[in-house]
Amino acid sequence: MSAGIDLTEETIFTWGAPPLKFGAGAADEVGFEMSGYGVRRVLIVTDSGVNALGAPQRIADNLRRYKIESEIFDGVHVEPTDDSMNKAVEYARAQGDWDGFVAVGGGSAIDTAKAINLLTSNPGELMDYINKPIGNARVPDGQLKPLIAIPTTAGTGSESTAMCVLDILSMKVKTGISHWRLRPTLAVIDPLLTMSLPPEVTAASGMDIVCHAVESYTARYSTPFDRKKPEQRVTYCGSNPVSDLWCERAMQLLAKSFRKAVHEGFGPDGNLEARSDMMMAATFAGMGFGNSGVHIPHANAYPIAGMVKNYRPPNYPQDEPMVPHGMSVSLTAPEAFRFSFPSVPDRHLRAAALLAPDKDKLNDPSEQLPAVVVDLMRDIEIPNGIGAVGYTEADIPDLVPGTMKQQRILATCPRPVTEEDIAGIFARSIENW
């Protein structure tokens, strides 16, 4: 005991975020920002879809005005894999040295840039740094180079988080690297870049924001854990008062603008206010969950995406089947929130009220949040459950172990969860309405 505090119990939480530059036109100030780090040669990391829209070239031109040389690498795989990240790292090493990096794109480009930055500034290979039990969870000792993250989707919040997510192809599982050194040096968030996002991508990536905010807000609280030593502290510390603030605000912005961004956001004359709100919501939710963590919907999303059979979502690359991240996290969310309700009912009700302030109160309070999430999913045409992306009852025994492998994520689940619980959640998520 010290000053009346039991020091075997956790009393500490941690929180971090990068500096931000936010607003329409902010992407045109990247050269000025990069010049502040004294860099001469920069790699711009993007995917071919985003590159075709021209933003990376505009950024290269802007960098040149500040006498910064750059090259565009557009080989990012949409939803990166170990293979695609290794190829990106090989390219960057072969063409090096780089003084800094600019990521332009969605979570796929930003996460790939984080991996490139890590593996061109520190020794070792991708697998060394990947979370246990899949990798060795090696800690990067050395300082990384400046990385400016410029998101072109409103979703992942990767511009403000300290992790990078990838598919391990041989294991059909998604995992990641998480360490505070991966967090971008600066996030430049320009809602104008999202005016070209098709409704389907706006809907799926926006559901990622919903799940980040709600899962973080309902995650296990940061301090009922056993006390950790400083070197044991992980990026995801559980819900905490600072993350809660950002998540609450993200949910209010989603209530105001998500449907408008999907239905009115597309094209040069689209609804810029709705796009700005969504960009802010994505970053705010990232500043929340990126410190607190997520739980069952995200843990389930990994096998849903990793074991995809034939599903090809409209307006995503069609060369291979995929369940986009934001879609995969939403498909079991209604049922997961029914399951987590009894552990923190007030939080679930408050999240429902923030996301849908005008929704009538249902007789069964545990149904309030699932109903709000389902209303939204229907309105923005997210597929109706895991059945709609190709899974049947017969797949559940194969999906469950993929979820149970995500113990790092399930650690912040507000109540203990068993294989049987997860099997039940999958079974009841084959159709959500």
Residues that bind ligand NAD (CB under 6 A): 47, 49-50, 53, 78-80, 105-109, 111, 152-153, 155-158, 161, 163-165, 193-194, 196-197, 201, 205, 208, 316-317, 325-326
Which residue type is seen at 136?
N
Work out what residue 316 binds among Zn ion, ligand NAD, none; the CB cut-off runs from 5 to 8 Å by kind.
ligand NAD
- Residue 411 binds which of ligand NAD, Zn ion, none (CB < 5-8 A, kind-dependent): none
Partner from Zn ion, ligand NAD, none contacting 108, C-beta within 5 to 8 A by type: ligand NAD
Query: Least distance to ligand NAD from the beta carbon of 1, Å?
Result: 38
- Number of helices (H), then strands (E), belonging to the chain: the values are 17, 8
* Residue 254: strand, helix, or coil: helix
Return d(Cα 403, Cα 386) in angstroms, integer: 14
C-beta closer to ligand NAD: residue 105 or 238: 105
Distance (Å, rounded) from C-alpha 291 to C-alpha 300?
20
**Cβ closest to ligand NAD, residue 155 vs residue 334:** 155
Please state the closest distance from residue 87 (CB atom) to Zn ion, in A. 24
Could you write out the three-class secondary structure of 318-365? Answer: CCCCCCCHHHHHHCCHHHHHHHHHHHCHHHHHHHHHHHCCCCCCCCCH
Of the two residues 138 and 275, which places its CB atom closer to ligand NAD in the complex? 275
CB-nearer residue toward ligand NAD: 68 or 409: 409
Residue 317: name its binding partner from Zn ion, ligand NAD, none (Cβ under 5 to 8 Å by kind): ligand NAD
Nearest residue (CB) to Zn ion, 27 versus 287: 287
Distance of CA 228 to the CA centre of its chain: 26
**Nearer to ligand NAD (CB atom), residue 302 or residue 391:** 302
CA-to-CA separations, 332 to 150, 344, 432, in angstroms, rounded: 30, 19, 8
Indicate which of ligand NAD, Zn ion, none lies near residue 118 (CB less than 5 to 8 Å, by partner kind): none
First to last CA, the chain: 52
Question: What distance lies between CA 296 and its chain's CA centroid?
Answer: 14
Residue with smaller CB distance to ligand NAD, 318 or 418:
318
Show Cβ contacts of residue 311 under 8 Å, excluding neighbours closer than 6 positions: 321, 322, 323, 389, 390
Select 194 or 340, whichever has its Cβ closest to ligand NAD. Answer: 194
In the complex, least distance from residue 409 CB atom to Zn ion, rounded to whole angstroms? 10
Q: Minimum Å distance from CB 165 to ligand NAD?
A: 4
Shortest distance, position 325 Cβ to ligand NAD, whole Å? 4
Nearest distance from residue 46's CB to ligand NAD, in Å? 8
In the complex, least distance from residue 67 CB atom to ligand NAD, rounded to whole angstroms? 28
Q: How far is the CB of 380 from Zn ion (least distance, A)?
A: 17
421, burial (CB in 10 Å: exposed 0-12, middle 13-18, buried 19+): middle
| Angle, in degrees to the nearest 10, between helices 82-95 and 107-121 | 50
Q: Which long-range contacts (CB under 8 A, 24 or more apart) does 407-410 make?
A: 408/131, 408/234, 408/236, 409/236, 409/293, 409/294, 409/295, 409/298, 409/299, 410/295, 410/296, 410/299
Smaller CB separation from ligand NAD, 303 or 326: 326
Binding at 53: pick from Zn ion, ligand NAD, none (beta carbon under 5-8 Å per type): ligand NAD
79 binds, among ligand NAD, Zn ion, none (CB under 5 to 8 A by kind): ligand NAD
How far is the CA of 210 from the CAs of 4, 62, 203, 277, 298, in angstroms? 39, 34, 10, 13, 11
Q: Please, what is the minimum distance in Å from the beta carbon of residue 264 to ligand NAD?
A: 16
Nearest position to Zn ion, beta carbon: 208
173-178 vs 163-168, strand pairing mode: antiparallel
Choose from ligand NAD, Zn ion, none: what does 382 bind? Cβ within 5-8 Å by kind: none
Minimum Å distance from CB 60 to Zn ion? 29
Q: What's the CA gap between 87 and 393, in Å, rounded?
A: 37
Nearer to Zn ion, 63 or 351 (CB): 351
Say which entry of ligand NAD, Zn ion, none residue 341 contacts (CB below 5 to 8 A, set by partner kind): none
Q: Which residue has the tokens 């389902």?
A: 374
- Chain residues binding Zn ion by CB under 5 A are 208
Residue 337, CA distances (Å) to 282, 321, 342, 383 in order: 20, 28, 9, 18
The entry of ligand NAD, Zn ion, none that residue 111 binds, CB within 5 to 8 Å by partner kind? ligand NAD
